[in-house]
Structure formats: C-alpha cells, structure tokens
Structure 1
Amino acid sequence: MSDLNSKQRIYLNKIQNEPEFWKLNKLRLSILFSIGILNGFSVVYADDTQKLSNTQKIKLTQSSVKQDPVIQLDPVVVTARRREEKAQDVPTPISILSPKTLETQRISRVEELQQALPSINVALQNPRQSSIAIRGLGNNLASDGLEASAGVYLDNVYLGRPGMAVFDMLDIAQLELLRGPQGTLFGKNTTAGLLNISSKAPTFYSDNTLEISAGERNYFQTKGSFSHALSNTVAGRLSFYKTIQDGFIYNVYNGDKLNNTDRQGLRGQLLWQPDDSISVRWIADYNKQDDSQGTPLIYSKGPIFNHPIYGANYNRYTDNTRQAGVSFEDDNIYSKKTASDASKRMFVEQGGSSVEANWTLDNGNKLTSISAYRIWNFTPTNSDNTVADATRNIGVAVRDKQYSQEFRLSSEKNANFDWVTGLYYFQQNIKNHAYTYYGADADTVMLYHNSALREDISNHATHILNDRSSHTYGYADTKSYAAFGQGTWHVTPKLDLTAGARLTYEDKAARIVRLAPIGGVEISTLPLVQQNSVRAQLGAYDSAKLKISDTGYAGILTASYQLQPESLLYAIYSHGEKSGGFNLAVGSAPSAGAESLKVKPERADNYEIGLKQNLFDNRLQLNSNLFWVNVTDYQTTGTQLLDNGTYTTILGNAGKVQSRGIEIDATAQPIKGLTLNFNGSLNDTRYQSYKNAPVSAFASIVTAANSQDLTGQRVYGVPKWSANFNFRYDLADYQGWQPYVSGSYAWRDWSYGNLDNSKESIIKSYGLINASFGGRHQIADHAVDVSLWIKNLTDKTYVTNVEGFMLGSYNAYLGQPRTIGASLKLQF
C-alpha cells in the first residue's frame, strides 16, 4: 500500500478494521469496490491531484509489494464524444490542460490560453468586445446579435456570449480544446471548434485547498475550495476567488493608474448519489468585475499626407485634437501613458445555475438531462481618451439571459456499435443600450476636418454634436431547437467508422431604435446645414421588427485505424453551420435599409487527417494533423470610419474563407519528474472572396474610398505561426520537501489587428517567457506548497488587440507587463 496517501490509508483501515463502518457507509463502499481493487491506487483521470474520487475515475488497488516507479505519461480521460474515453483513443484533434498545468503556468483567464494551446487566438478589449478564434475562424468582436464561430462550454452548458467566459477560471478539473466543427454532439453549432471547461465535482472525502498570492503592482489573489460529504448520499463543494492589482497605464491628467484589476467569484455545488446508477449535480456561480481593464493606448494616429486644402504633413487626428487644446503627444504603447479627463470603468455581473442528472438504466444505457439558466450584464464607461471635452461617456451596455435544456441518451460501451442521441433547446434574450454623451468640444474634435464647417467651428458657431446625447436600444431574441445523433461502428478490432448528424431550427427576432438626440441647442434654431448634419448623424431611427428563420445541418464522418497498439490514424470530414444574425447597431441602415442589418448563415466544410502516437513505452505522446477548412458566408465584424470622425460597427458576410494548416502537440517524460510539452501550428487563413470589405483609414481619409477588395489576403487577427513550449521538473525529495521548477515560452507571429487589414493595425510578433520554482511539503494529511513566479520575464511590451478609434486613429490593448510574485497553497 505504499502508493496510498495518508487519507486513503486511514479510509482503507476503517474499512478493514471497523465492521460497523461497513453498515454506516454502504454507498461509499459500493462505489469504492465496484471500481476494482487491483494493485495500489492508480489514477487514470487527468486530475493531477492523486486523490480518491467518487466519480469512478480512479481505480483502487492493493499490493504488499512495492514496485519501482514507471516513467511514463498518465492517460487522460475526455468526454469529446459524450462518453468517457482515453484522449488518445478519440479520433479528433484535441488538446488538454490539467489543473496541474494550469497551476504551473499560472493560467487563470481565457485570454491566457493562447500561451498554452495550439491554433487558438483570444482577442480581448473588454468582456463584451472579446472573441475566441480557432484555426483563424471566429474573430467577431462586439457583435451582440451574432453568435461565435468558436463555442465555449462550462460544465456542459453552452455560453451564448464569449464574454461569459471572461472570469478567473476557478477550481478547474480539466480544459479541452476541440478543433474543427463540433455541431454534431455539442449543444450549439460551432463552425470553428470549441473550448470545454469542466470544474471539479463535489467529493465524498475532504478535498480542501486555500491559496494566497501576492506580487508587483499590489497584486493580491486569494482562492479556495472546500469539499466534503454532507451525508451518505450528498456531497458539497464551495469555491471562491478574489483578485486585485493596480494598473500599469499612467493617466498624466489626474495621476490615476488605469487598467487595474478587481474581480471576484463564487461557486457552490451539491452532488446527490443515492446509488451507483443515479447522480444529480447542481451548480450555481456568481462573478463580478468592477475595474478599468480594457484601457487603450494610441497605436497609430492615422495617415500623414499632403492635404490639398490643409497643406503638407496633415494628420486628421492631430489637427482636430490640437484645435480643441490637446497638446499631449506621449500617448503610445511604449510610454504606457495617456491623458484623459474622463473616467474609464467597466462593470460586469454574471452568474447562473445548472442541474445535470445522469441515470444508468438497467440495460447499461445512460440518460442525461442538463438544465441551465445564465445571466450576463455589462456596463462600460469610456471617453475619447483626451483632455478635450469631446466625449464624456460612450459605450454599449448589455443585458443577456439564456435558458437551455438538453436530453441525451448514450449506449453502453459495446464491442460492435456505440451510439449517442438527444434533443436540445436553447433560448437567448439579449438587450443592449448604446449611448454617447458629447461635451462642449465635440464639434471641434469630431468635425473640424469638414471644410464646410471648419471656419464656423473655429469661431465656435456650430452646435451639431456639442452637449448632446444619443441613445440607441436594441434587442435580439433566439429560440433554437435541435435533434442529434452519432454512432461508431467497430468494424474490426482496429477499424472504426463514425457518422453523426444534427438538425437545428432557429427563430430569431430583433429591433433597433435610435431616439432623437437629447440636449444641446434646439435643432430647429440652427442653420439648415447644421440641422441636416445633426439629423444625419444622430437622427431618430426605427428598424421595425426583423426576423430570421434558419434550418441548419451539421454532420461528421470519421474513419480511424489502429496502426499499432499505440498509434491511431484517422481521417475526418465534418460540416458545421451557424445561423444568421443581426447587427444591433444603426450603422448604415438609415440609408441602406433595415435588411442591411441582417447577416446570412455561416457554413464550414472541414477535411483533416491526423495521427496520434504513444512512443518509447509511453514516454512520448505525439499528435499531429493536417486540416483544410472551406467557409462560405463567413460572418465577420469590424469597424468603418464615418464622416463625423467616429467608427461604426460593420457586420457582414465575407464571402469565402479558407483555413488550412498543420498542428502538432507533443508531451514527453524523458526522465522521472520531468514533463515537457510543445505545441504549435501553421495556420494559413485567407479570404477566397471578399470584394466589399471595409476600407482602411488611410484610404478612407486620403482617397475617400469606402470599400476594398481583400480577396487573397490574410484574415485579420490570425498569426500564421504560433508555438508554445513549457516544462515542469519535480526533483527528488529533500528533507521532506519536493522542490520543482517550471518554465514556458509562447511565441506568436504577426497579424492584422483590424478587419481593414491596414498596415497601421498590424500586431507585431512577440514571445513571452514565464518561470517559477517552489517546493511542496507533506505533513500528515496536509500539504504546503510555496512558490516564487515571474510572468513576462523580459517585460515585453506586446499588443493583444487593435481597434479603429476616432479620426482615423487606431487604439491598442496591451498584455500584462512583467509581474513577480509568490504563492502559498495549503491542502487539507
């Protein structure tokens, strides 16, 4: 029993030495021994905790003979096909992060996943303006009326907004990245892939952790998790976190430090297991964020050129803002300084509840029901990021709620044929409120470049935008119904054929209403040219009710062949669709019509071939695959410059897009205690047809062009090459302590930062280095882990996202600078 930890030995001694214990704990014992006692405790689930689990993902073993440790990688169990299987036996490209990996690399937020996973790109300005792209597909920022191409699931519940995943990842059991269309078995059709996040379930034994971390810029984080049996049939788990840190962008106007962090969250769970055949898991969570995350800096002020009227070296941004009294010139990404006379805040409140029930029938089939409800509320406070009184507050507040219900029936593991089938319902109700509060300098900053108004603006004789406010209200309601099924035929012991399909019907409705402008000088008293300008830019508009009904299809055909016992070759064809949507912004609708706010469905055909290998007596796991994805009517969002100097959201279909490339994911354990991982991708994603793309600020300002042809160009937000390397080395025990050291390097190629593919928006390539070292000490049933860590070792200034701002300029959002800190973790 040398492989047992102290808690497991105490538990087993009670079973062996106390007969009354058998009577009081029949449920625990039935679970314990039904898994099987073979050869000491052997974990087969990638939890990295080496603890006993009531979910039957470990095997109890018993042996009086101590064996030498075997140097090999542990198998990992996933549910990519809605049943528990070893990841290496699943014929699909999938990358997995365990709790130990997340902890070692100090990955706690979704936007950090691109430093650990291949073919994923996370763009984050703020929780609303966020997106997850897989294989270059899914860069859809700030689109309230459009679903993501890459789906996110939390404990088997689809998250209808990418921003619902913007929180600290708490008490995670496993994180899986599935690449390619996944619509057959997962609740909503996803044409690019999905991120599947699973939290740790309640346990019928003590599983408690408490961790405190502190670091530079007053970084402080505390998080904990407490789990135990509440009765013979009920277990509970409670988890929490609180994270704060000062910002690193200095506002020279008032001395504030912007881009600070203030997040907190709580999750409670109950698990009811009256017997081995039934389990019901209830989860409720709440997360809140109230800080200045998402503070931008000027990345480019737009084109400098010889203007036919205003002369040489003309720049619209500089010329207009200087006219309003702005003289600060040190606002760039390297100075990390800005000058703003208005506040920058955002508030996010989200949470939900789900109940998952699993019932194993007498014939071995398994019936699953998942019921869920979630809310997501977002309220921002933004400005023009200058000391001019141009825009006092601008933003889009969102209120979102969703309901979902899934019923699933899966067969018992069968030597000939396995199958899964089910029904799915999803309802989402989203409302947004776009608002702009203009100040006394609004005409100067936004319209001074207009030659017809320039002289009057200089003489303070215009009242077009000054001291007015504009409010637009929109909603989008979705009802989605689906039936799905998938089966695997084990043709021979080595050959499997899989086929699956999903039929989805969706009804969507939306409406966008812009109210007449409020405040300012009475419009009817203005000169006619100013009256027309006010109405053109801020006039009332009502789209009336818009409707979309779509029937979508998803399917998959897979063939896999076991070349050798540890080598799996597979080929996949999959088809995915997601329904159309709406642009919940007025945009060009007053002139182009309300139908221009609609977006057609997106369809993807994916072809790939892959090889999964376990080599050198399972010391090396090497997975590689080639993929080719053709997308029709790719849904994409961006921004386009308007005459008033501001940008509007552009939502449309980019014709055809092609994504093709290579992915590699390798994990090795060459010696005891040392684990190495390398993953990388070549991702060539291009527009095959996009003839009416938004034009760059340079072309718009200099040539007055309003569209361009991006056919053959790279899709924005997609680095062609990316690579991640990380290691962890657990050294031999030293005086009761087990020291360890870890490190990682993540590199990303350059990419375009905005839909217009302008050179001014290019995000340069960068590499990040993280490192940590520490030690773990076991004290009876308790453990202490102390570590020192550093993130962004070289203090690299790097850009994570770019957006078109005002007057032809571009804003950039920066990743975190170097942070050094320490953590103390207790397990008891």
Structure 2
Amino acid sequence: MAVLAWPGMVAAQEAEQRQEPLEFIYSSARITKDDIVVTARRREESAQDVPIALTALSGAQVTVPGTIGLAQVQQLAPSLQLTATNPRNTNINIRGLGATPAFASLGLEYGAGVYVDQVYYSRPAQTAFDLYDLQRVEVLRGPQGTLFGKNTTAGAISLTTEAPSFTPGFRGEISLGNYRTLQARATGTAPITDSIAVRLTVTNTLRDKGFQTIPRQGGRRVHDLASFGARGQILFDNHDAFSLRLIGDYSSLEQDCCTGVTTTIRTTRIDGTALPNNFLIRTARAGYAPLPIDPDARQLETNRPFSVDMETYGGTAIADYDLGAATITSVTGWRKLDYKPATDGDVIGLDIFENAGVRETQEQFSQELRVASNGKRTIDYVAGLYYFWQRIDDRFFTIYGRDAALWILGPATPGGTAPSVGGQAALNGLFADGSATARTRSYAAFGEATWNIADTLSLTGGLRYTHEKKDGAFGQIQRGPALTPGEVLLGAQAIRNAFAANIPTFLAETREDNLSGRATASWKPVEGVLAYVTYARGFKSGGLNLNATAAPSVIDPEKVQNWEAGLKTQFLDDRVTLNLAAFTQTVRNYQSQQIDTRIAQTAYIANVGTVRSRGLEMDVRVRPVTGLSLFASGAYTDATYRSFTNAPCPVEYLGLATVCDLSGRRLPGVSKWAASVGGEYRAALGNGHEIVFAADHAYRSSFYTTYNLAADSLAGSYHVTNASIGLRAADGQWGVALFARNLFDTTYESIINPSAFNTGQSTAILGDPRTWGVTLRTAL
C-alpha cells in the first residue's frame, strides 16, 4: 500500500515496475504504457491517443489525507481554478471560463460540467464529498458539448469511482492531524456469487479545532468540520455480454463556516476624494471598533451563528450490453441536495443582519442511452439520446437587526449616534422572505464518428441537437413587527418597502433549440507523436433571474467557438512525455453572475457581451531513473472581456459613475499564469521495506474575484507546497507516512467579496493554513 500522502502526477508511470498489485496502489487506475485509460470520447482509450487537451489523474493522486472535494485536483491541474464562498457558492473555471465568481443563482447553469460515474452533477455543491474510492479523474479542457452536453462550454470534469471486483480486497487508513483532525476511510470489495460482486466505501472526517478565532468571544475557534460519506455498489456481470452496476451514495457536511476576514477598508474613491458614508464613518457613529486588518491572524468579528449543513445523496444505474462490434450503454441517475445555511451577513460584531442566506433543495434525474463501437475500426463511432430533468427550490431570507437603521440609513441628526424613530421601527426585525422555484427539461440527440483514413491519419466529426426548456417563479413577502400609525407617518413603511418589498409571484420561461458540434483532424507522423487540430461550437442555455432585483427575468444563451491545436509526444523509451496545447475560445452573450451591493447582497445574472480566452498549456512527465518520477504542468491564459460596455461600477466609483466600460480588461476568476511541479522518489531499504518521498508545488498569479473588477477584489499571487515521507512494507500490507499540506503556511485568498451597502469593506475566504499529520494504512 502506498503510504504516500501526495503521489506525483506521474506516479502511475512506475506501476508496472513494482511488484505490489496495481489495484492496491493506484485505486484500480488502468495503465497502458505511461497513461491512464480515459473515456474522454465515451470509450476506453489511452490518454495519449485522444486528440483532446486533458489532465488524467489516478485515484491515489487526488485521494490525499485531510481533504474533501476537488481541492487536490485543482492543485495538479493548472487550467482548473475554483473559487468558493461556501459549498453552494462554488464556481469552477477551466481556461478562465465557466462561471464568474459570485454567489450562486438557481437560474444559472455552469459552463464547466462535473460528471461522477457518467452522471451530470448540476450543482457544484454536490462535489463536496470525500474522493477516497476514485479510479480516475479526467479534466477535459475546452467545449465538450458534443458528447457530454449539458452546458460544458468550458470543459468537463469526469470522476470515475472504483467498481466492485470479483477478487476480494480491502484497504483502509486513519489520519491524525493538527487542529484536532481525525479522518478514517475504508473501502472493501468481495464477490457474492460467480456473477455478483459488491463494494462498500465509508469515509468520516472530523476537525474539532477550527482554523479561525473570534477574539470578542474569548478566542473561540471556528471553521470546524464534520464530513461523512458512504457509497455502496452492486455489480451484476454474467462475464459474457451483459453487466449492470448499481450505485447508491450519501454524504453530509456540517461546518461552522464560511465568514471572511477583512482584507481592505476603502476610504477614498478612484479620484482620491473621500468615499461617502464609508465603513469607518459608520463604525464610528455606532461606537464600534473593528479589528486591525491582519488576514494572517485569521480573526473574525462576527457575533451571530454561522454554519453550513448540507446533505446530498442519489443513485446511479449503469448497464452495458456487448454486441461484439459495439456496446450499448444505459446510464440512469437520480440525485438530491439539501443545503441549510446560517449566515451573519454583516461579518462584524453589530446586528445589522440577524441572519441572511439561501436555503436550497435540488432534485435531478437524467437518462442517457448510447451505442459505441468496440476496438479500432475504419469508422469508430458513438451515438446516443439524453434526457435531463431538474427542480430547484430556494428560500431567500434576510432578517435585519437592531443596528441596521443606524448603519444603513444614518443618524437622525447630522453627527448624531442614534437612528431616526421611523428608521429603527422599519428595519429592526424586518424580514425579507422570498421563495423561488426553477425547473429544467432538456432533450438531446448526439453522435460522433472517427474515420481512420490510415494508421497515421484520422478525421473526427460530431453533432449534438439540444432542446431545452426552463421555467420558474419568484415571490417575496415582507414580514416584521407590526408598525404603529405614528411609525408609519414617520416613514417606516416606505423604508420597509425599499428594503423588503412585497413582490407578487411572477413567472419566467425560456426555450431553446441548438445544433452544436466539433471537428478534429489528428495525425501520427511517427510512433509516440500525435498532432491534432479541433474546431468546436458550444452552447449553454439561457438563464432565469428569479430574485428581487430589477434584472431582466430571462437572459440569452451563450454561443461558443473554439479553435485548438495540440501535440502529444512520448520519447526516450517512453521515459519522457511532453504534451502541448494552444487554444482560442470566444463566447458571445457570456452569462455573468453579478451582485447588487446597494442593499443586502443579492445575486443575479446578466449577459455581458463577448469574452475571449486564449492561451498555451504544457504537461511534462519524466522518469529519469528507476524510482524517480517528475512532472511539470503550466498554463498561460489570456482571458478578457472583449465587449462589456455597461458594467455596474465598483465601489471606488461610488458617486462618480454608475456604468463602467470593462472591454479589453481581464476576466475574473482566472490567473494569467499557473503551474504545478512535483515528483516522487522511492528507495528500497532492505528487509522488505521501502521509503517514499513526494512533494508538489503549485503557483497561481493574481486574479480578480468580482465581475466588475473592483480594485480591492484582486487576490494576490501565491505558492502552495505539499510534501510527505513514508515507510511501507514492500508487499503493501501496511504503511505509515508523515504529511504536510501548505507546508510553508502561505496565507492566500480563495475569493474576496465587497460588503453590502457599498461601505468600502472587503472580506476574503482564505485558503487552508498549514495542516500536517500522520497516516496509517493497511490493505488485505
């Protein structure tokens, strides 16, 4: 058993040279030569033979102690970038496209699709589970709508879990770490009969000492974590032509997060004049002393409970029938998500908000039926039909507190420290109670064929026709303590109407039909070299604004054009792998998530015109000597607004301009430069023991985290290093390892958000600090 906490990206290359079972070391990741077998074109192929820019990772490379979700995938795939305020507000970008960092909107679907065991996960929050039983991860870059569909205009992340095996097996591990962290994970598989096998995977992660403190509550530590997951599988296989795999999973996440630390307090505008009614002016009249700005201290000012309570579960059925020349596959998926937050929306020690947030329940069903040719023939093909249904129900709640009137409206008299009677009566206890429902129905037919003209030349073409309908409704009710006639005369009701208007339920609907596709020419001039060029057209359906903003209720669909050229090579007896890709991608009617900060923060979506992403990507893997594997991956991404002339201006323009032209400026949520390097070294110690050392290092340049490129939302560049050293038995039956993540304790921002009411305060969700521990592993 590999006790290494973080194998290098090319650890799989050493698999054939070791004696221990490949299934045990690499989570059953299938290897051919130096490559993981992938299904990027919906049939099994070597990653080096697929004319698509992709990152292929084995399960062990991302199954690292102390993490859940896609954090380690981002560490090893520079073109992938995640930003998150909390699990629901997770945004996934590939090559700078996919989603603008912001709060989630139920009327928007994301441009980077996530698939688990071939089932599309509509909400990124559903990926916040432990990845322990993964077989492989494929990050497919560029539009993948022909075969993957469902809005994969930026790319797709495909996760494949380990299937049950007819060979009994078990592996498990326990990790103990700082911040009182305990993680236990285990997976086991066994045959029941000659044709039935089962697998059960259980994970549990507890962190009892959080990353952050609240000084005004006696230094209470927060950002604890409790994550549990279970996945059960049954495989029916007659070992002839038919197999059926049934998968059921459940995961829960409880965490007292996600409140940011203050990173900036702006007091001046872009022209150097004072920012009106700024944060320090407001705190002074409230008699409140904010904490010093020091993100490294990880101190919070909040005085109200804040937490995340999320459950997600579902079932998948995958049936394959081998006809000899082709295989028919049916993939059925059903999923449900229940998300319950509590949020101190003002993030300081005043009761401006008592609670604010969005409670969400989501349910989806999908069915895909396809046929794919087997082996390599003159014409290789895949064709199919797809159906997707989804319903999302959101409850929007904003409850104002006793300090809201003074903070928002100001004092009753100039220079005073008390709010007006009408203002206090209006806002203290005011409850904006909104509800929305969004439904999606999508139908598609698709096909792709590869004409292998010769052993060295192939042409691929594919089309996908999509019909999609979305409809939804929104309404809002004003609640709060009853007002007296005198308070009404003092303007209390008018103030309430401005902050929590009664909005009769309104309906919104959009329908679209689209034909998209791609064409690829690939050439193998010599053994170990593949060159290709691709043109693709993508489509993401229109969105709905189901909220209390004045934004249009329906926005237009995205249309994508992408050109890509790539080179995949292996040489020096396959000890060196070098892959290169160049791309340019243009999106018309780009769907941008935006936030109205004039009142309580409310997310909405809008078309911003045209955006473009172009760049270069490189992946290198080297095995210079036995036992040593090295890798390097890099991405240069030039992603810009080509046309965004009507952007709402950020707070530094408050009172100077309301509309800004961002044309030609960079897109948010993407670093121009990103890279990962690392490696692994194994050395025999004798007596059947082996020592293993591994490290990886990731770099990202600065990036903006707001759609309107607010100056204070620029997250700085950062470096993060992970390392481990372990001792293990050569037969893999036991092992122990010391590991460290963020070894040098780098403080970096995941996302920076402006506070409500344009006060000039900005707060950030920080990346995890240094975590370290020991892992004990065993396998049977």
- Tell me the TM-score normalized by structure 2: 0.93
CA distance in 1, matches of 2:278, 2:18: 56
CA contact (8 A) 2:109 2:151 kept: no
CA distance in 2, matches of 1:462, 1:103: 52
Q: How many residues align?
A: 760
CA distance in 2, matches of 1:765, 1:821: 27
Q: How does 1:370-769 map to 2 (within 5 A)?
A: 370-383=331-344, 384-448=346-410, 457=419, 462-519=424-481, 521-522=483-484, 525-527=487-489, 529-589=491-551, 596-642=552-598, 644=599, 646-700=600-654, 702-703=655-656, 705-769=657-721
CA distance in 2, matches of 1:134, 1:92: 14
CA distance in 2, matches of 1:756, 1:634: 14
Q: How does 1:766-777 map to 2 (within 5 A)?
A: 766-777=718-729
CA distance in 2, matches of 1:759, 1:360: 58
Bigger Cα displacement from structure 2, 603-612 vs 725-734: 725-734
Q: How does 1:76-475 map to 2 (within 5 A)?
A: 76-103=36-63, 108-140=68-100, 141=102, 142-245=104-207, 246-254=209-217, 255-304=219-268, 316-330=278-292, 332-361=294-323, 363-383=324-344, 384-448=346-410, 457=419, 462-475=424-437
CA distance in 2, matches of 1:721, 1:306: 28
Q: What are the Cα deviations for residues 153-199 of structure 1, in whole angstroms up to 9, with x where unaligned?
A: 00000001111112221211000000010011114231000100011
CA distance in 1, matches of 2:452, 2:275: 71
Q: How does 1:1-12 map to 2 (within 5 A)?
A: none
CA contact (8 A) 1:722 1:749 kept: yes
What corresponds to 1:791 in structure 2?
741
Q: What are the Cα deviations for residues 473-501 of structure 1, in whole angstroms up to 9, with x where unaligned?
A: 00100000000000000011100000001
What corresponds to 2:5 in structure 1?
none
CA distance in 2, matches of 1:107, 1:331: 28
CA contact (8 A) 2:164 2:197 kept: yes
CA distance in 1, matches of 2:671, 2:252: 32
Q: Tell me, what secondary structure is at the counterpart of 1:732?
A: strand
What corresponds to 2:764 in structure 1?
812
Distance apart, 1:287 and its partner CA: 0.5
Q: What are the Cα deviations for residues 493-547 of structure 1, in whole angstroms up to 9, with x where unaligned?
A: 1000000010000111011101123325358842364432221221111352111
CA contact (8 A) 1:45 1:57 kept: no
Bigger Cα displacement from structure 2, 280-289 vs 532-541: 532-541
Q: 1:608 to 1:505 in 2, by over 3 A?
A: same
Using the aligned pairs only, state the percent identity: 32
Aligned with residue 75 of structure 1, among 15, 18, 35: 35
CA distance in 2, matches of 1:794, 1:259: 20
Q: Which runs of 5+ in 1 are unaligned?
A: 1-41, 60-71, 590-595
CA contact (8 A) 1:123 1:132 kept: yes
Distance apart, 1:677 and its partner CA: 1.1
CA distance in 2, matches of 1:105, 1:211: 9
Q: Tell me, what secondary structure is at the counterpart of 1:557?
A: strand
Distance apart, 1:114 and its partner CA: 2.0
Distance apart, 1:256 and its partner CA: 2.1
CA distance in 2, matches of 1:447, 1:799: 31
CA contact (8 A) 1:501 1:556 kept: yes
Distance apart, 1:698 and its partner CA: 1.4
Q: 1:545 to 1:189 in 2, by over 3 A?
A: same
Distance apart, 1:617 and its partner CA: 0.9
What corresponds to 2:4 in structure 1?
none
Q: What are the Cα deviations for residues 67-105 of structure 1, in whole angstroms up to 9, with x where unaligned?
A: xxxxx9633211111111111010010111112322469
Q: 1:455 to 1:815 in 2, by over 3 A?
A: closer
CA contact (8 A) 2:265 2:761 kept: yes
CA contact (8 A) 1:325 1:388 kept: no
CA distance in 2, matches of 1:213, 1:57: 23
CA distance in 2, matches of 1:90, 1:209: 32
CA distance in 1, matches of 2:240, 2:485: 73
Bigger Cα displacement from structure 2, 331-340 vs 181-190: 331-340
Distance apart, 1:726 and its partner CA: 1.4
1:826 correspondence with 2:766: no
CA distance in 1, matches of 2:261, 2:641: 29
Distance apart, 1:125 and its partner CA: 1.2
Distance apart, 1:330 and its partner CA: 2.6
Q: 1:49 to 1:631 in 2, by over 3 A?
A: farther
CA distance in 2, matches of 1:685, 1:731: 44
Distance apart, 1:305 and its partner CA: 5.9
Q: 1:458 to 1:531 in 2, by over 3 A?
A: closer
Q: 1:710 to 1:204 in 2, by over 3 A?
A: same
Bigger Cα displacement from structure 2, 565-574 vs 807-816: 807-816
Q: Tell me, what secondary structure is at the counterpart of 1:421?
A: strand
Distance apart, 1:810 and its partner CA: 1.8
Amino acid paired to 2:141: R
Distance apart, 1:106 and its partner CA: 7.0
Q: 1:658 to 1:270 in 2, by over 3 A?
A: same
Distance apart, 1:284 and its partner CA: 0.5
CA distance in 1, matches of 2:260, 2:666: 25
Distance apart, 1:261 and its partner CA: 1.5
1:50 correspondence with 2:12: no
Distance apart, 1:446 and its partner CA: 2.2
Q: What are the Cα deviations for residues 783-816 of structure 1, in whole angstroms up to 9, with x where unaligned?
A: 1121001111111111011122223322200011
Distance apart, 1:296 and its partner CA: 1.1
Larger radius of gyration: 1
Q: 1:795 to 1:186 in 2, by over 3 A?
A: same
Distance apart, 1:470 and its partner CA: 1.2
Q: What are the Cα deviations for residues 259-295 of structure 1, in whole angstroms up to 9, with x where unaligned?
A: 2211111000000002321110000000101111322
Amino acid paired to 2:710: S
CA distance in 2, matches of 1:737, 1:765: 40
Q: Tell me, what secondary structure is at the counterpart of 2:280?
A: helix
Amino acid paired to 1:345: S
CA distance in 2, matches of 1:345, 1:45: 48
Distance apart, 1:56 and its partner CA: 11
Bigger Cα displacement from structure 2, 806-815 vs 747-756: 806-815
What corresponds to 1:26 in structure 2?
none
- Tell me the TM-score normalized by structure 1: 0.88
Q: Tell me, what secondary structure is at the counterpart of 1:756?
A: coil
Q: Which runs of 5+ in 2 are unaligned?
A: 1-13
Q: Tell me, what secondary structure is at the counterpart of 2:99?
A: coil
Give the CA RMSD over aligned residues. 2.7
Distance apart, 1:461 and its partner CA: 6.0
Distance apart, 1:743 and its partner CA: 0.5
Q: 1:314 to 1:633 in 2, by over 3 A?
A: closer
Q: 1:711 to 1:568 in 2, by over 3 A?
A: same
CA contact (8 A) 2:29 2:36 kept: no
